[in-house]
A and B are shown apart, each in its own frame.
Chain A
């Protein structure tokens, strides 16, 4: 076995070859033996010995053929270029077996006519020796042709399967990478504005500045460590949303008013990490921050029919100044939900009311 083949020929494929090879030849010999003895009334001992000799040669030749095919890398050839070599190889292997068959027939059965007498008249005709040998060669060539076809089919199936395996492995890796990427997108706008708020508070209100640094540290730690977990409980996520909202309240002061309603039965439900946070960030960015007078941000959760319903509602400018295309944040959130829950979870942004935007998240209780 050369190096190029090694990765695709693990020990179990060697074993599979021997099982196939022995079973194939075994069944082929046995069916001919049973057919010859029961239908054609051939003497079982003589006929059995003949079959053993001939099929042992066939078995050996087919094994040599396999070595030849592997050495010459026929596997890599396209089917179109494989046709003639396969036919030629079948013929080359067919020659010795055809000759051997014919001569063992004659040698082992002293009087072939004796056996032929009991057979139908159609079968009972004498053939010239060269014609008989040629027919046997063609016969055996077909046997090898079929052997090669089975061999290449088995290889194709095995390669297809390992390609599929590689593909599904890659899809899994991609899936994981995608989740990582979608999850952690630290909003630099928020970060620098928060730092500016802290700088301002240091002079205005040192105690609040200290609080702000703690909130900012919590938010950053959560964002950075969320790489590890896919799902967190709603109450964990609410803690970080509270830190975030405290910081934003310092920035917007009385323009940001908050109403949170999370009942006890919803607090333990597991949701994708940073997802509620993304919705709250969007509500502030596209809603509160766009309104000179600000407004109320409402977060409410309910549990119904084995589903958690989360709503984030915010007032919004009636006529958006900029054309608000579906944001990256929302699209990423949807992609994550699909990757984690399939079709069982959903996220919709309801803009049917002119001055209110409501994000509705539905997540199954059992992930």
Chain B
């Protein structure tokens, strides 16, 4: 498993590297000292696992994640910010407290290994989950649970469960990475999750109205309605 260490303190990076020597199946592909450097290394080295410090110069570990499109698995390493990590609403990640207890490291790596066999992210492939940061709150959002994506300028409003977090990305850019069998462009502003459609009614001028489970009614434009009918009749 290809791992990248992101921490601004050289002794902390050396210590983690030394601890990881015990695990032959973990290959350390690089070390980053700040968010910019780490973002670049993730782009070029495509690690599968990220050891990520939270407090770093030029931005936090959360800032780094919100900039990434393809998310590696993440294990946070922190001296005292566990409350920040615990603030996550999804427990699909792990954290280690520095100084790192080798036993806890082994457990975290074990979880990462079993998660790795379950899903192998391929660059450019369909996105399974995204990291969303809205104000002080952060989530790993599984995209299949998102029922509606609405464009608001250069941002996307996600309708996900009871939450409506904002994602700092353009809808057109994200659309290319969405699963075409699940997500459908309803109109200029909105993309709907087909799994959430309860019923569809005919509107005027060949438009359609799709009622989403737990969500609003979305209008499907005339142009997209034709595509929709073709897609659904198949």
Contacts and interface: CB of A to CB of B under 8 A. Distances in A.
A192 B99 contact: yes
Given A189-B79, A292-B34, A321 B11 contact: no
A289 B55 contact: yes
B59 interface: yes
Contacts of B8: 252, 289, 292
B34 A204 contact: no
Mostly helix, strand, loop or mixed at chain B's interface?
loop
Contacts of B36: 292
Given A204-B14, A289-B8, A321-B63, A193 B58 contact: no
A27 to B, nearest CB: 74
B95 to A, nearest CB: 13
A189 B11 contact: no
Nearest to B59: A321
A200 B14 contact: yes
B58 A321 contact: yes
A157 to B, nearest CB: 54
Contact of B10 (A193, A203, A253, A292): A253
B20 interface: no
Interface string A191-228: 01101111111011000000000000000000000000
Contacts of B162: none
Contacts of A195: 98-99
Mostly helix, strand, loop or mixed at chain A's interface?
helix
Nearest to A288: B57
A317 interface: yes
A113 B46 CA distance: 128
A252 B10 CA distance: 7
Contacts of B80: 188-189, 192-193
Interface string B1-14: 00000001111101
A196 B78 CA distance: 10
A199 B77 CA distance: 15
Contacts of A317: 57-58
A290 interface: yes
Nearest to B11: A200
Identify the interface centre among B12, B79, B97: most chain A CB within 10 Å of its CB.
B79
Contacts of A289: 8, 55, 57
Contacts of A193: 9, 12, 79-80, 98
Contacts of A203: 15, 18
Contacts of B121: none
B99 A199 contact: yes
Contacts of B165: none
Contacts of B168: none
Nearest to B7: A196
A291 interface: yes
Nearest to A188: B80
A251 interface: yes
B33 interface: yes
Report the 8 A-B pairs with minimum CB-CB distance, sorted nearest first. Answer: A200-B15, A192-B79, A200-B11, A196-B98, A292-B34, A196-B99, A189-B80, A199-B99
16 contacts: A188-B80, A189-B79, A189-B80, A196-B11, A196-B79, A199-B99, A200-B12, A200-B15, A204-B11, A204-B14, A289-B57, A290-B57, A292-B36, A317-B57, A317-B58, A321-B63
Given A189-B79, A251-B9, 4 more contacts: A189-B81, A195-B98, A196-B100, A292-B58
Interface of B: 8-12, 14-15, 18, 33-34, 36-37, 55, 57-60, 63, 79-81, 97-100
